[in-house]
Amino acid sequence: MKYLIISVLAIVLSACGGSNEVEVGNKTTMEVLPEVFDAGDVVKGEMINAKFTLKNTGDYPLVLGEVKGTCSCTVADYPEEPIPPGGTGEILAHVNTNETGVGPLNKSVNIVANTEASITTVSVRADVMRK
């Protein structure tokens, strides 16, 4: 069954035209800045909107498979289309401080991509104060 799925995927990908053709198994490299977004002092109830810039530093299109916060209070928006070599994209991580405690906050966002290693982690930090 596994070989059937891989064969069908290979046929579908080979039938697609375009200059950004993605082949299964091509690894690339990326740079993410900043690695840590420091929001400083925030009042409980505020939404933290952290922006991370991705740059494809490799030779193949960068494909993001999943970008997900490590808790339910953190949600991320990310590019769904492949990022071409030399291109950039943005990840926006939204942290709802209504769902966090008061005090130091450190929330992680895992980026799964066709890179080696396949998971890159960035962080959002803040100091959540009472209203």
Q: How high is the pLDDT of residue 25?
A: 79
Residue 76: cis peptide before it, omega within 30 degrees of 0:
no
Alpha-carbon span 30 to 33, nearest angstrom? 10
Alpha-carbon span 99 to 45, nearest angstrom? 8
pLDDT digits (tens, 9 = 90+) for 79-116: 999 999 999 999 999 999 999 999 999 999 999 999 99
pLDDT digits (tens, 9 = 90+) for 1-44: 444 444 444 444 444 444 455 556 799 999 999 999 999 999 99
Q: How high is the pLDDT of residue 12?
A: 40
The CATH code for residues 30-129 is 2.60.40.10
In the chain, domain spans? 30-129
Q: How high is the pLDDT of residue 21?
A: 55
